[in-house]
Amino acid sequence: MPPKKTVGVKTGLTAGEKKKQKQENKAKANPGKAADKKVKADAKRTRRKESGSVKKMG
């Protein structure tokens, strides 16, 4: 009888890590667009902070 396959823990990147890596690669390829996107994201962040918006988990 062949040995049963054991279920192991994945050692690869998580979805969040993959997403972050992909964003970094895009920024390297097109720094102009990345800078524009960062400015936009920072503006959104400050607006949310001013309005008192809170992210609820669960």
Domain boundaries, the chain: 16-49
2-58 pLDDT, tens digit each: 778 877 777 788 999 999 999 999 999 999 999 999 999 999 999 999 998 887 887
Residue-by-residue DSSP string for 1-58: -PPPPPP----S--HHHHHHHHHHHHHHH-HHHHHHHHHHHHHHHHHHHHHT--PPP-
d(CA 36, CA 46) in angstroms, rounded, equals 16
d(CA 18, CA 26) in angstroms, rounded, equals 12
- Crossing angle of the two packed helices 31-51 and 15-29, in degrees rounded to 10: 130
What pLDDT sits at residue 4?
A: 80
Q: pTM of the prediction?
A: 0.55
